[in-house]
A and B are shown apart, each in its own frame.
Chain A
Amino acid sequence: MADNLLDGLTVLDLGVMGAGPYCAKLMADAGAEVIHVERPGTGDPSRALGPFAPADREHRLSATHAFLNANKRSVTVDFTHPDGAAVLWDLIDRADILVENFRPGTLARHGVGAEQLLARRPALVQVSITNYGVSGPYRDYAATELTLQAMAGLLDGNGEQDREPLRYPGLIAQCMAGANASYAALVALRHARRTGKGQAVDVSIQESVASTFYSLYADYEYAGALQARGQKDLYHTADGLFMARWQNSRPWEEFALALDAPELAIDPALGPPLALTQNARQVADILDERLRSATRREWFARTRELSITAGMLQTLDEVLGCEHLAARRWWDTLTGPAGVKAPFPGLPYTVDGAQRHIDRRVPDLGADNDDVYGGLLGYAPERISALRATGAI
């Protein structure tokens, strides 16, 4: 059995909601030991977020929380309590990486700021994910997934130009920031391994998203052009929407014939370059009509065979039943309370040709308190009981 990529790495996840937990999730999935530190009583707010199964009337298993935090260990610490702060420091002593996404300055107010951390643990990599970074005039702005997507430039590209721009679904901005933070953390870890020097890593959700708009900046900076919102090159089929795009490495005629639109191959005005510029709308209208003769899956089979760049708009249920993912045995299985089972997204990569499959289980709040405090930290049972009694854990 090969080693997992991050075996032996210990990550302290002080994250809440999306960004911090997604960062630590990527590390857990790669083999790191991740200890999710939650507030006693309520825990990570994503535990209450849902969505919940219809039968789960007590709201015991939030899908959002489950996705982000399965297979982490859950401990509870109230670090605003002096005894809790001591516990947190003991945990920090065992960590290679600390990930947090509280509002800027929160940890520093409780004596766990960057300077204190580096004074005690010079090699620690300390990752702070915040809405707008730990500096600058928007540092303390109130934000949600919607307002962050807006400020980062995502909304501007989604929707119709003459209507209001649209939020993308899910917690996408937060997850992108988490992924960005996971890479930045390993940059700092590599430096710490070599030199013994840790550092603070400042990740802004806004900047994480805005860093990836490669061609949009160019449009404006080279030509003063701002792209419009709007949906392009999606065609109706017999059963839903489909997209196909010609690549100039292949003959245009091949593309036209593959999509049952021979007139595109015959009339030069409907071929490149005019098909891509002045007559693009006309070409799109022809394809939109032609593709109605077959289903998305039929078109996708044909374009795959002919190496034409294409894709079909799939529903969540279609993805859950996807033949490709089934053939790859991709889904993990989540086991919830009362033995409920559900498919769980697998790792989006293989290592040495094999996907690491994980038996997905979601820790109850504080489920690992005894194990971590008794085992990892070596606290005596009486000390753990005392901490419980004071509410520190």
Chain B
Amino acid sequence: MSLGKSIKRIDAFDKVSGRCKYTDDLCDKGAYIAKILHSTIAHGRVLNIDIEEAGKVEGVVKIITCFDLKEKNYFPTAGHPWSTDVSHQDVADRLLLTEEVKFYGDDIVAVIAEDTVSASKALEKIKVEYEEYPLVTDPIKAMEDGAIRIHKDYPNNILSHTSIRKGNYEEVIKDESLIKVEGWYETPPVQHCHIENFICYAYEENGRIVVVSSTQIPHIVRRVVGQALGIPWGKVRVIKPYIGGGFGNKQDVLYEPLCAFLSTQVGGKLVKLDTSREETFVATRTRHGMKTHIVSYLNKDGKYIARKIEVISNQGAYASHGHSIAAKAMGCFPQLYPCDNIEADAYTVFTNRPVAGAMRGYGIPQVMFAVESHTDDVAKKLGVDKIEFRLRNLMPVGYVDNFSKNVNYFDSFGQCIEKAKEYMDYDNRIKELENQTGDVRTGLGMAVYWYNTAVWPIALESSSCRMILNQDGSVGIQLGETEIGQGADTAFAQMAAAAIGVSVDKINVISVQDTDVTPFGTGAYASRQTYVGGFAIEKTAREFKEKIFEYAFKLTNVPPYMQYMKDGIIYRTTDNKELISLEELSKEALYSLSDSQHISAQQTAQIKSNAYSFGCCFAEVEVDIKLCKLKVNKIINVHDCGKLINPELAKAQVHGGMSMGLGFALSEIQLVDEKTGRVLNNNFLDYKLSTVMDHPHLEARFVENAEPTSVFGTKSLGEPPVCPVAPAIRNAVLQATGVGINELPLRPEKVFEYFKGANLI
């Protein structure tokens, strides 16, 4: 059996040896180079563009300005499945190039040149005249009456506002015996920091346009390029090779439409658009900064009686994934600590900041920081043990969510917390750390989370798979779900091997997605690959085996229902007699002079379920009070993500997520100059992504309760590891010093402000 084993990644050797081909490796070196002129104001209108001097730069082929666009095809960019229901479609507010500048870094001119130096020189010589409008970068200010409006159809700059109401919050809180706890919690916009910047190239072939792109979502890119260029979607072919990380940034259509368009402007010649790190920081996407307000009312027994949450999400200049992120963030609140009286509101607000989109965790790391920081604040106020308080109030076993129909089947929270406590030697350590004084103190903190797996019922869940039998009994498989570094191809190979009944080395996963060839799938996002892809693999394998057994019937006279296959050998069920190997069968099937067949199968699985994933993080943090520095000395994440397909790969996922969580907690923030809207730290020197030297040992452990709705017992793991880390660290600092720092990241300057406010220094 291939499941549950830590086989090596199927792409490990090629990746480590540098043999894997990424977009830039595949692009012909003679390609034209496209570079974009980004606006140097945050809000206003382009009045005039002078390209005369730029056009004289040697090597410049063509310059296209926002005024050159004849047709204005507004297009959406979110990597969501298309909705045939107009009211559910993503907001179409982007143009290839724009006169209406909405953030510092907006795209206004594109230069096509023979090389990068010529293109860069030309950019410097372009003169732009603007009419400037006032700008707003703070979402709360942007919502105020009288604030400058960024998109004409959105009063108060509110892209969307949704609510949840349960019970009667206003009435219940009149009870004066209730204990009230209230807090504001803030998380900043941060960037994905994938190693490979966004890159794509495009050319025309036989009247169609081919785009090769570093994307998570090739089939969605095909649709959006078609929409942006106003051409039939079938005229677009998108190819996705190996990519150097995406983390949600590449779950957006970025510059593929512009690059495709530019190719059409130079006779279909090959044009490459390779964004710099600075552009990746400013002009792709970020995580949504959020301000979250939570009010809780508890009775004397420490039970939640009424709760309220307001989430204000900073969308930046364009809609991208829009309100779906804030809505998801808000939606996790009533379920984590169920309570009879709930008021929840989420606002997504346009500002003149870089555009926020999808990023690993999709709103949950932000709101989990608020919710789990607040939980510690509540426990502190009540004077009760923070873990016991959680266990008493967390989503109980048997809980069912009426919307998603998710069920909490197991005591995952209790089991995860127990494992983490054991690793941390929690009960002893917490006693040792009592009553500390001095400049350097240590605290133990923890936080929990829950996370969804797929996107149903918010959006479509569909996955297709194809299997083909090769001459030697090996099997080629293709899926629309993409390998983006997470190890999906390896998990698919293990699942396919198990579903078909062959060994993993007989499975060849065709990693590259080509929308002309690969079965339709919406790509890599949510934490859905093994869950949704698993259904498609299992369903296709059923058809595939049916065909194999039919053919074996012809060769052996044993009826299909009396056959089974294991390790590539077909047996008779009645006496386990070996009938024929898949290798012999496939050779016979292809080369038979009487009945030649290429055995293949393709199926689409639509999934109308979703699954809760649970876990926790515990962290021990040393606080140097005088130096305002934090050091995480010990940290563990424990996850119940169902059955593990590949334990080592699962750990790797957790390590990556914890790392992202540490950066979110301690150092990462995209800083914007409030006066100009310019991003101040658009590079890795000033944007403090943590290095390997900043990482403690990352411990990852699992609780494996098989998910009943999942064909392979799996549920989400890709995003969850980010979710509980920041609040666990914040709570450790609270434990050590008595100071709860409610603004991420907990960078020294912020720590200084809080410690000074608390008279610690």
Do A and B make up one complex? no
A residues apposed to B, CB below 8 Å: none
